Amino acid sequence: MNQDEAALTGEALTAEELRERIAAELLSARDRTTLLTTAVDEGDLIRQHSPLMSPLVWDLAHIANQEELWLLREVGGRTPIHPEIDPLYDAFEHPRAERPTLPILPPKEARAYGHEVRGRVLDLLEKVTFGGTRLTENGFSFGMIAQHETQHDETMLATHQLRRGGPALTAPPAPAAPADAASLPAEVFVPGGPFTMGTSTEPWALDNERPAHMVDVPPFYLDTTPVTNAAYLEFIADGGYDDPRWWTPAGWEHRQRAGLSAPLFWRWAGEWVRESFGVSNPVVRSEPVLHVSWYEADAYARWAGRRLPTEAEWEKSARHDPGSGRSRRFPWGDDDPTPELANLGQRHLTPAAAGAYPAGAAPSGARQLIGDVWEWTSSDFLPYPGFTAWPYKEYSEVFFGPEYKVLRGGAFGVSPVACRATFRNWDYPIRRQIFSGFRTARSAQARLAPAEAS
């Protein structure tokens, strides 16, 4: 265990408390899954709304199938309920594009399967012993499955956003900008020096977040908030999409081929209009920009005379406590997120205005590092030193490499159970159907030693 990493808050949970915590997380994930799959009719559950996405009914049975595999079979030692359907729900056997042609379970059967698995899992949870095996230690496999379901809830939310037709989901508006938003500095300073990146103590951290290790980060400045629509509109108005100087060669090639001229879901109608879950409205200037690819984020940063932060810079901004020198679980400390600290959990269906959630600020003053929008970093998705795949190579290991870029911090569609300052997400640099935004950074001037300076 790394001593510079925050110990978990409070006392370790008793087995009974852990059982209750797991049951609550599984129930909350299922509530959201149910809402996302009852808000539209059968046709919209079976239809493929985009070649990038699965039909919603595939996600529904895949959630149940993973729960059966990891909890009932691996932990509980039970025999498979429907072994013949396993291959249909293996994400590696069938890419998303071909899932609609598979003989997948229809909605009624998919729901019944999920219900049957869940009933048996709750029985298992009553009598399982935590510990003795790595899968049961601290309830890891249950935590992994709760996170998995909520990750698919986020995927299903992206499918809802791609779906054509009237609105199906509603939510209260996200918080407006607080009174001090207009007077916030544009950037915050993060002093140079080592910090603990990754974790060896977070019980439900996934394999790619491990292990904790020291990283020396030179001093840098980071945007106080994610880049707003207002700032992004300036990039557009300045011809940023038409100037190859701002784009990497691969980014420019993609911009040309895909005909990019604005974020996904934006439309020019005498003014820029954004479609959000079936409702069109003028782009809200104060909101963080959403649905941009890594190539667009990278081009904007170069246009602004800046760059994307590295993954280590992002995590240091979000975790390092200069007072104690230790890394925290979240920018505000070690306590779990609440609705006052971050925009998570699909409570709202948009990011909050830039500057919102002052209570969730990092020691540097940076806001909204957790929640609102996923933030692209400049970094490739690579293993940390000492990484070992756990419990299966197909979660992270098969994706490591320069073709994927890392995103950090979670978004309004992400559940708190699958969001922490060590959590790593990744995608192709062309992707923008995800809830992606970004903030920019710049290196601090290296200070010369007096002799050199004279």
Amino acid at 16: E
For 10, the token pair is 């409070």
Q: Residue 277 or 395: which CB sits closer to ligand AVJ? A: 395
Cβ 423 to ligand AVJ shortest distance, Å: 9
Q: Which is nearer to ligand AVJ, 155 or 440 (CB)?
A: 155
Nearer to ligand AVJ, 364 or 425 (CB): 425
Tell me the DSSP string of 233-290: HHHHHTTGGG-GGGS-HHHHHHHHHHT--S-TTEEESSSEEEEETTEEEE--TTSBP-
Residue 155 within binding range of ligand AVJ, rule CB under 6 A: yes
- Map the footprint of ligand AVJ across residues 374-403, applying CB under 6 A: 395
Would you state the structure tokens that stand for residue 129, as one six-digit string?
């012993």
- Letters for 426-445 (x = contact with ligand AVJ by CB under 6 A, - = none) are x-------------------
- One-character DSSP codes across 377-436: EEEEE-PPTT----S-TTTTGGG-EEEEEEEES--TTS-GGG--TT-EEEE-TT--SSSE
What backbone torsions phi and psi does residue 209 show, to the nearest 5 degrees? -85, -5
Please identify, using beta-carbon distances, which residue of 154 and 313 lies nearer to ligand AVJ.
154
Which residues touch 162 (CB under 8 Å, ≥6 apart)? 49, 50, 52, 53, 433
State in angstroms the smallest separation of the CB of 123 from ligand AVJ.
Answer: 25
- Does position 148 interact with ligand AVJ (CB under 6 A)? The reply is yes
Q: Who contacts 233 (Cβ-Cβ below 8 Å, separation ≥6)?
A: 272, 283, 285
Q: Which residues contact 237 (CB under 8 A, 6 or more apart)?
A: none
Question: Which of 102, 181 has the CB closer to ligand AVJ?
Answer: 102
Q: Which stretch binds ligand AVJ (CB under 6 A): 93-101, 148-156, 273-281, 293-301?
A: 148-156
What residues are paired with 320 via a beta bridge? Answer: 327
Smallest gap, in angstroms, from Cβ of residue 44 to ligand AVJ?
21
Inter-CA distances, 366 with 190, 218, 314, 356, Å: 10, 17, 10, 11
Least distance to ligand AVJ, CB of residue 151, Å? 4
CB of 243 to ligand AVJ, least distance (A): 32
| Residue among 378 and 425 whose Cβ is closer to ligand AVJ | 425
CB 395 → ligand AVJ: shortest distance, Å? Answer: 6
Residue 428 CA to residue 351 CA, distance in Å, equals 22
Q: Is 350 an interacting residue with respect to ligand AVJ (CB under 6 A)? A: no
Among 28, 48, 141, 151, binds ligand AVJ (CB under 6 A): 151
| 382: its two tokens | 């690579």
In angstroms, give the least distance from the CB of 214 to ligand AVJ: 25
Contacting positions for ligand AVJ (CB under 6 A): 148, 151, 155, 395, 425-426
